[in-house]
Amino acid sequence: MTTIDTTPAAAYRVSHLDAIEAESIFVMREVVAELERPVLLFSGGKDSIVMLRLAQKAFAPARIPFPVLHVDTGHNFDEVLDYRDQRVAELGLQLVVASVPEALEAGLVRESADGTRNRIQTPVLLAAVEKYRFDALFGGARRDEEKARAKERMFSFRDDFGQWDPKNQRPELWSLYNGRHHPGESIRVFPLSNWTELDVWHYIAQERLSLPSIYYAHERTVIERDGMLYAVNEFIAPRGSEEPFKARVRYRTVGDASCTAAVLSEADTVDLVIEEVAATRITERGATRGDDRVSETAMEDRKREGYF
């Protein structure tokens, strides 16, 4: 005769969000236990906002035990910078800014011919890692974003030049992570690797997290370029026959304003964004990031050089 186990343990269920939250918190605690000088990359984007929430939970009731680092290209959306400063102040965090404009002035990097600064962030990031001797960098990258990110480990080893070798990655069996490194080497850590964009939005809804307003539908003057909608601003001006027009848009990802595009949208609440994301078949980077269209391996090439 079949019997039914009615003990409380049998009735215990863990939701998908609870499971991935627990995994991410485990990873954060593992890094703080294993490595000496971790830092969290915080741009004011939705993924890094979720990362901060996870860090709060991982170390509560204590404060988050590491600073946050923003690689500032100087090509920012004002709403995102305002949010960054407000959130850092609320949590009493140390904010380290690695400034691309200052690096340009000092001659560390040179402006790209196309005027975008995403690629020249890398030397600026690596200089900050060396200056502050960070040995672990938390990043909000997810495997569903882009194919180079899909094959990167949760603990991603970088050599003493900050470079990633995709053919020489460490195995991660049974959630066993290897943070061993020599002085000068570092580990990039991606606690959201197993999350999707939809997971992130469900978590934002569950935790009632505030976001920069540009994540929600609003009217903005844009131009269409290479099949994407770029906001007209001090970094993006119409070329040739491009005609500015007003459209109701939102941003799925935020980054360098000179290469980050918006999408047409009527989603002005978290619930409507979740409906929209659930229905789309194009990744957020594929839909909105001009820098990923440079070549088939654009992201992997940047990562090999030391990018996030």
CB 168 within 8 Å of CB 180: no
61: preceding bond cis by omega (within 30 degrees): yes
CA distances from 106 to 100, 103, 109, 173 (A): 10, 5, 8, 44
pLDDT given for residue 133 in this prediction = 95
Residues of the chain with CATH 3.40.50.620: 16-199+297-305
Q: Is the pLDDT of residue 293 over 60?
A: no
Instruction: Give the pLDDT confidence score for residue 223 in this predicted structure.
Output: 94
Is the pLDDT at 80 greater than 70? The verdict is yes
Query: In this predicted model, what pLDDT tens digit does every residue of 21-77 receive, in sequence order?
Result: 999 999 999 999 999 999 999 999 999 999 999 999 999 999 999 999 999 999 999
pLDDT on residue 30: 95
Check if CATH label 3.40.50.720 holds for domain 16-199+297-305: no
Higher-confidence residue of 262 and 145: namely 262
pLDDT at 1 over 70: no
Q: Where are the alpha helices (DSSP H) in 133-268?
A: 147-150, 197-207
Tell me, what's the pLDDT at 113? 78
Structure tokens, 152: 């990167």
> In the prediction, which pLDDT does 199 show?
97
> What DSSP character marks residue 153?
-
User: What residues form DSSP beta bridges with 260?
Assistant: 289
The tokens for 90 are 């609320």
Tens of pLDDT, residues 82-121: 999 999 999 999 999 999 999 999 998 888 877 778 778 8
Short-list 188, 183, 209, CA closest to 270: 209
| C-alpha to C-alpha distance for 54 and 51, rounded to whole angstroms | 5
Residue 116 is classified by DSSP as: -
Helix H or strand E segment including 270: helix 270-279
Whether the pLDDT of residue 296 is over 70: the answer is no
Q: How far apart are CA 84 and CA 87, in angstroms?
A: 5
Strand order in the sheet with 218-225: 228-231, 218-225, 245-250, 263-264
pLDDT averaged over every residue in the chain:
89
Burial of residue 59 (number of CB atoms within 10 Å: 0-12, 13-18, 19+): middle
Q: At residue 189, what is the residue type?
A: V
A 10 A CB-CB count for 163 gives 15
Segments in 133-196 forming alpha helices (H): 147-150
- pLDDT greater at residue 115 or residue 189: 189
pLDDT in tens, 151-175: 889 999 998 888 888 888 888 888 8
pLDDT for 294 beyond 60: no
